[in-house]
Chain A
Amino acid sequence: DARVTQTPRHKVTEMGQEVTMRCQPILGHNTVFWYRQTMMQGLELLAYFRNRAPLDDSGMPKDRFSAEMPDATLATLKIQPSEPRDSAVYFCASGLMEGNTIYFGEGSWLTVV
């Protein structure tokens, strides 16, 4: 059963620490998205990649967030330094450009204290 896999599932870290979240998209999918979910803002698109190339990261705070796709099976989202306001659930999703369905991972639940 193909699925998007995210690690870690849960992370508690101290303010100022670096946090890296990883995502393995569904094999063969050429588009990968990063979303952030908070109570106040709901689901926000942070960035997305197509064929490993970044297409749009306008939703991402540039000073502390970075997203990369080192290869077709791995996408990363890094926060450095982390702040309490970064506490949220971060979802990775993948899909095919030619298709019209996006599949979500289980999320990485981040708490910054």
Chain B
Amino acid sequence: AQKITQTQPGMFVQEKEAVTLDCTYDTSDPSYGLFWYKQPSSGEMIFLIYQGSYDQQNATEGRYSLNFQKARKSANLVISASQLGDSAMYFCAMREGASNTGKLIFGQGTTLQVKP
């Protein structure tokens, strides 16, 4: 069973507008972490934001915020004030606490294109 689902293969957003990238997850582990990474065409994975399963507040990092809805098992990424440099592939990932390996399980990714 797929553990991380990103249902939007591609998204467009106008420069300076906000955009939400969807992510749902599935786990029976009560302790887990959720991540968002940005992957530009160069290939490097750039860490954006982390949300722990026990965190009460939604994580924020600059223009990035994570809309964490635990009951719905969703962890959507919100990018505010989009910039041309935000055009990239975005991956949602999960790390299960019980695995004790640190293994990241990735979704299929969403390609974001920011229009000028």
Genuine A/B complex: no
Chain B residues near A (Cβ < 8 Å):
none
